[in-house]
Each structure stands twice: as structure tokens, then as C-alpha cells.
Amino acid sequence: MLSVETIIDDSGLHDLIAQWDSLHERISPRLPFTTHLWASIWWQHYKRSNVKAKDFPRLFLLRNDSGELIAVAPMVVSQRPGYGPLNAKELQFFGADSNVTEFRGPLCSPEHTPAVVRSISAFLDNANGADWVQWRGLRLQNTSTILPAEIRQTPNLETTVHILHLPSSWEQLRANLSRNMKQAIRKCYNSLGAEKITYQLRIIDKPGEVPAALDRLFTLHSARASVAASIKHPDVFASPVSRAFMLQYCTELARRGALRIFQLVINDEVVATRIGFKFGDELYLYYSGYDPRWARYSVMTTVVVEAIKWAIDNKFRIVNLSTGADISKARWEPEVISYSGGFSVRKGYRSRTLFDVVSRFREQSLRAMIGAVLVAPQLPDALALFAV
């Protein structure tokens, strides 16, 4: 068991920057979503206080016997409805949004994950702070390590992260790719060359350049979402709050020298773009967008290849291809890191009954969301926010 310290007000999120950042630097892969910066800005934009839902911060700090900080769990008690005597309280990680936050979970090493879960669970059993806990982002040290038995592991709360380990040169990386991937790379360059179309890779990293670069990314991301294709992509940044959040986060990251927005420019026009977050010798490739008029040239593949070449030239150790399973990541043959998720319900008839009711509602909402994606790429906000 670990000692658990809880911070329950907004100001507490700003008092542990140095320790939090130091822990983040020691754990790989480094994810933007487990940083103090992401959590503090996310809370400013996404905390709810209305009739439908009210959020209360619960930041858990876990230390070993020596007092060393070994885990941070940025969590929130979401109360639904927001007011009144009859409500359900769910403890969940920061990031209940329309997938702007790609990963939700604790910041800790895999070997500490079971102890972190047990310690928070024991604390909650004594504190009566929530009816159930939604666990996500639980990385285990190996397949023989198990989570506490009270967690009901749930497939739709599991996720994967795709890590591309970089050699010393692009030629070495390319040589180890599959034949199909090599052909895909040749195609994206040859299709432009055959028509004598020249391109430029532009990298945005200055705070003053961020607003215009993000405006273009939002436009291209939305355009990509509207393409009639077999795989639908939701417009993650459709809402004003998601755009405001991303502008503030990326601007602050640029001030710290940790933002890289990769743009493929043809005829003075950005035709494809992808956001990159820099953490030491690791690069996290976040959301992207492209102009459908240039789709036949595979411009999105070109952007990723150019970003990887840039990372190799600048001595990065890994490129994180982000979360989720799709062919655009798998074809690079990356290391796949799996994270578990599930629910643990507080003992007692009331909590278990509320959990069963909400679970049934979520199943219906999830089916409705899937149907909405098949028909239109933008999810209904009410469904999306409750489903997470």
C-alpha cells in the first residue's frame, strides 16, 4: 500500500508542478495527457457545473515509504444530475471530452499500477466519495501481473499506444519496413513528382504562429471528417470549447519549446498538417487533417514520413503514433503497449443499482454514437460527454 494525499480544490492543481513534471520525465512513453499542463488547462475548459452534471476535482498523489512521489492520478468526481438529493457520483480520470484527450489514466510506472489501484480503492472505501470508479490507462508490467479482483475489466475502456523506435537513419528504418509500406511511401512521393508538383515541409513552433496554424488544422481536420469513406473520422474539434482548449495548450507548449506543427505546403497552401508534442527525446504525433482534393497524392502519409525523418535527424529516440488501432499505425510495425480499463463499484445496494442503471444508459448511448458516426462524423455532444 502507498500513502495517498488528495487535493480537492482548483488551486491545488497548481502547487505541485515541479514534482509532477519530474515524474513525467522519468516514465516512458511520455504522454501529453498525463502532464500537469494538460490537466490544469483541461480543468479550466471542461469542468462542468450545471443541472446535468457537476464536477469536483480529486487529484491523488501517491508516495512510497520514503516519501517519494511515484504516481499522480488526476481524477474528478462527476455528479449526475448536478444538483438535487438523488444523484450518482462517478470517480473518473480527467479527459471526459469528445476524444480531445486521447488517453486517460494515472501517471505511474507499470510495476506500480496494481499498488496505485489498490491504494486509491482503499482510500475511497473509507472516504465515501463516489458510487463507483471508472478506471482507464492501467498499464501492467507483464501478462502475469493482475489487477485487483474487484475491477470489472471492460473492453471499451482499453486502449493501445503505438511506439516507433527510431534508428540512426531514415534509410535504416525504411529498410526494415514491409514491402507494402515501402510501396505506399514511394507512391506518395512519386505521385507528386510525376506531375512535377513540389512541396515544402513547414514546421510551426513559435507562439505567435500557433493561432493561424491551428485554424488551418481545424479546417483540414473537419474536411477530413466530412469525406465519405469506409472509415469515418469524427470532427474532434467541432466545438468552441475544444478549439479554445487546444489553442491555449499549444500556445503554452510553444512557449516552452515543445510544440511542432508539421505542415505540407504546395503552391503556398497547407494541404496536410499534423500536430507534434515534444517531450525530451520523444515525439507524440497528435491529430491531423488534410485537403480531400489532394487525397490521391497520399499527402497525409507524406506528412508523417517527413515528421519521422525530422525526428531521426534531430536524434529523437521514439515517435509515438498515438492511441487507437488502425492501419495507418500498424503498417509502421510499431511496438504496441496495451492499457486496461474497467469499473469498481462501491459496496451497497444504492451504488450498485445506480451503476447498473447508468451502465444500461451508456450501452444505449454507445450504440447511438456508433450510428451517428456512420451517418455523420460529428457526435452528438450530449451523448458523447455522458458516454465517457
Query: 241: domain CATH number?
Result: 3.40.630.30
Q: Give the pLDDT band of residue 340 (cuts 50, 70, 90).
A: very high
pTM: 0.91
- Output the CA–CA distances (angstroms, integers) from residue 304 to 96, 270, 301, in the order listed: 28, 14, 5
Q: What is the pLDDT of residue 85?
A: 77
Give Cα 96 distance to the centre of its chain: 11
- Per-residue buried b or exposed e for 280-314, using 16+ beta carbons within 10 Å of the residue's own CB: eebbbbbbbbbbeebbebbbbbbbbbbbbebbbee
Q: Are residues 25 and 114 in the same domain?
A: yes
CB half-sphere exposure, 228, CA atoms < 13 A? 1
| pLDDT, tens digit (0-9, with 9 covering 90-100), for 11-44 | 666 668 889 999 999 999 999 999 999 999 999 9
pLDDT at 383 over 60: no
Q: Are residues 34 and 82 in the same domain?
A: yes
Note whether residue 373 is domain-resident: yes
Note whether residue 134 is domain-resident: yes
Q: Are residues 36 and 96 in the same domain?
A: yes
Q: Between these two residues, 14 and 331, which has the higher pLDDT value? A: 331
Amino acid (one-letter) located at 280: G
Separation CA 49–CA 37 (nearest Å): 22
Q: What is the pLDDT of residue 373?
A: 41
Q: Are residues 153 and 9 in the same domain?
A: yes
Q: Are residues 10 and 123 in the same domain?
A: yes
Q: What is the pLDDT of residue 367?
A: 60
The CATH number given to whatever domain includes residue 86 is 3.40.630
Q: What is the pLDDT of residue 349?
A: 86
Note whether residue 250 is domain-resident: yes
Residue 295 in 3-state DSSP?
Answer: helix
Q: Between these two residues, 290 and 376, which has the higher pLDDT value? A: 290
Note whether residue 331 is domain-resident: no
Q: Are residues 33 and 97 in the same domain?
A: yes
| pLDDT, tens digit (0-9, with 9 covering 90-100), for 350-363 | 888 999 988 888 77
Contact 265, 152 (CB under 8 A): no
Note whether residue 71 is domain-resident: yes
Q: Are residues 126 and 243 in the same domain?
A: no
Note whether residue 327 is domain-resident: no
Reading the block at residue 339, the C-alpha cell is 492499457
CB half-sphere exposure, 222, CA atoms < 13 A? 11
Q: Which of 230, 269, 275 is nearest to 250 (CA)?
A: 275
Q: What is the pLDDT of residue 341?
A: 94
**Sign of the C-alpha dihedral computed for residues 376, 382, 383 and 384 taken in this order:** positive
pLDDT at 231 over 90: no
| pLDDT, tens digit (0-9, with 9 covering 90-100), for 202-229 | 999 999 999 999 999 999 999 988 886 6
Residue entry with cell 457545473: 49
Q: Are residues 128 and 202 in the same domain?
A: no
Average pLDDT over residues 234-255: 97
Q: What is the pLDDT of residue 374?
A: 40
Q: Give the pLDDT band of residue 239 (cuts 50, 70, 90).
A: very high
DSSP string for 109-161: -GGGHHHHHHHHHHHHHHHT--SEEEEEEE--SSTT----TT-EE-GGG-EEE
Q: What is the pLDDT of residue 86?
A: 81
Separation CA 337–CA 240 (nearest Å): 32
Reading the block at residue 268, the C-alpha cell is 503556398
Average pLDDT over residues 67-91: 91
Average pLDDT over residues 294-309: 96
Q: What is the pLDDT of residue 228?
A: 64
Q: Are residues 213 and 258 in the same domain?
A: yes
H/E run at residue 183: helix 179-194
pLDDT at 232 over 80: no
Nearest-5° Cα angle at 337, 344 to 339: 5
| pLDDT, tens digit (0-9, with 9 covering 90-100), for 274-288 | 999 999 999 999 999
User: What is the average pLDDT value for the chain, to the nearest integer?
Assistant: 89
Name the residue range of residue 117's domain.
3-160+339-387
* Helix/strand number for the chain, H first, E second: 11, 14
Q: What is the pLDDT of residue 377?
A: 41
Note whether residue 59 is domain-resident: yes
Q: Are strands 132-138 and 88-93 parallel, antiparallel or unpaired?
A: parallel
CB half-sphere exposure, 244, CA atoms < 13 A? 9
Q: Are strands 107-108 and 69-80 parallel, antiparallel or unpaired?
A: antiparallel
Reading the block at residue 130, the C-alpha cell is 463516489
Other CB atoms within 10 A of residue 269 CB: 11
Reading the block at residue 149, the C-alpha cell is 479482483
pLDDT at 125 over 90: no
Domain end among 263, 285, 316: 316
Q: What is the pLDDT of residue 294?
A: 96
Q: Give the pLDDT band of residue 46 (cuts 50, 70, 90).
A: very high
**Sign of the C-alpha dihedral computed for residues 47, 55, 35 and 334 taken in this order:** negative
| pLDDT, tens digit (0-9, with 9 covering 90-100), for 161-196 | 999 999 999 999 999 999 999 999 999 999 999 999
Q: Are residues 193 and 275 in the same domain?
A: yes
Note whether residue 328 is domain-resident: no
Q: Are residues 34 and 68 in the same domain?
A: yes
What is the tally of structural domains in the chain? Answer: 2
Q: Are residues 119 and 201 in the same domain?
A: no
